Amino acid sequence: MNAVAGETETLPIAGFPVLRTTAGALSQRVLDMLQRGEQVVMFFANTNFIVQCTPLRARIVAGRNIVIANDGIGLDIGAWLVHRRRFVENLNGTDFIPALLARANRPVFLVGARPGVAARAADALRASCALTVAGSCDGFEGTSHPDRLVAAINASGAEVVLVALGNPAQEQWILDHADCLDAKLLIGVGALFDFLAGDKPRAPAFVRRLHLEWLYRLRLEPKRLLRRYTLDIGRFLLLCLVDRKTVDSSANA
pLDDT (tens digit per residue) in 55-104: 999 999 998 899 999 866 889 899 999 999 888 887 888 999 999 999 99
Going along 99-248, which residue ranges are E strands?
Answer: 108-112, 133-137, 160-164, 185-188
Residue 211 has pLDDT above 60, yes or no: yes
Q: Check residue 184 and report its DSSP letter.
A: S
Give the global pTM: 0.90
Domain 3-252: CATH class, spelled out: alpha beta
Q: What local confidence, expressed as pLDDT, does residue 243 receive?
A: 79
Query: Quick one: what percent of the chain has pLDDT higher than 90?
Result: 64
Is residue 185 within 8 Å of 162, Cβ to Cβ?
Answer: no
Query: pLDDT band at 127, cuts 50/70/90?
Result: very high
Q: What local confidence, expressed as pLDDT, does residue 248 receive?
A: 66
Residue 5 has pLDDT above 50, yes or no: no
Q: What local confidence, expressed as pLDDT, does residue 188 receive?
A: 98
Nearest to 138, CA basis, from 159, 162, 114: 114
